[in-house]
Amino acid sequence: MTDLLRDYHLHLGGLALVVFAVALAARKGGKLHRRAGKAGLVAVAVALAAALGLAMTSDANLGVRTGILGLGAVECLVFGMRILAWRKAEDVLPRDRALTFATGAAGVAALVFGLSPAGTITTAGAGFVALTTAISHRRQQRDPPRGRMRVAAHRAGLHAAGLFTVFVFASVGAFG
């Protein structure tokens, strides 16, 4: 089962990276850019489901750390995609707030676990980063940025998702 989950995760994650590269290369705001971005989001969502299954089968610290960082990546990715639709606070959907709350709550849990005798400082660090990301996103959900700042927040969210992904790779030792 673990091998199947890993295969799904790797293939869908690779597909998402290729599709996001297409979105980056396409004219911003154009049909190809929007469609590729949405397709990449779906691929990442399915890859995350497989990743969560993998995180549950690893040791506690690695599972918590990679789970929190993966959730942070998804939070930033969804935030980066959804913020373009937020003209005012009423445009923020309950599921947007729920994902941000889940990221913050998971960040607190990872921070507490990381600081416990069974935890590690890197797990606590992952929790801190997830918690501060959720706090920042919640503030922007209350008062969405306007004009060019909304586009800047879109880019920042997607860049942060990429950084979270790099941290996940580093956390599982994928870089050597």
Angle at which helix 148-171 crosses helix 60-82, to 10 degrees, equals: 160
Judgement on whether residues 78 and 115 belong to the same structural domain of the protein: yes
The percentage of the chain sitting over the pLDDT mark of 70, rounded to a whole number, equals 94
Question: What is the rounded (10 degree) CA torsion for 7, 51, 151, 99?
Answer: 150
**Which residue bears the tokens 């949405």?**
38
Judgement on whether residues 71 and 121 belong to the same structural domain of the protein: yes
Q: If DSSP codes are grouped into helix, strand and coil, which group holds residue 119? A: coil
**Cβ pair 74, 106 in contact under 8 A:** no
Q: If DSSP codes are grouped into helix, strand and coil, which group holds residue 65? A: helix
Instruction: Please name the helix (run of DSSP H) or strand (run of DSSP E) that holds residue 9, with its range, or none.
Output: helix 2-25
Q: Which of 12-21, 52-61, 101-110 has the lowest mean pLDDT?
A: 52-61
Q: Which phi and psi angles does 52 have, rounded to 5°?
A: -65, -40
Q: What does the pLDDT read at residue 176?
A: 41
Structural domain boundaries, residue 18:
1-57
Q: Last residue of a domain, which of 19, 42, 57?
A: 57
Q: Which of 2-6, 17-21, 138-142 has the lowest mean pLDDT?
A: 2-6
**Cβ pair 154, 80 in contact under 8 A:** yes
Token representation of residue 61: 């610290």
Using only C-alpha atoms, the chain has a radius of gyration, in whole angstroms, of 16
The number of domains in the chain is: 2
Q: Last residue of a domain, which of 57, 80, 95?
A: 57
Q: What is the pLDDT of residues 110-152, one digit of tens each?
A: 899 889 888 888 888 888 988 999 999 999 999 999 888 988 9
**Cβ pair 25, 33 in contact under 8 A:** no
Judgement on whether residues 36 and 81 belong to the same structural domain of the protein: no
Judgement on whether residues 131 and 73 belong to the same structural domain of the protein: yes
Please provide the average confidence, as pLDDT, over all residues in the chain. Answer: 84
Question: How many C-beta atoms surround the C-beta of residue 75 within 10 A?
Answer: 26
Q: What does the pLDDT read at residue 175?
A: 45
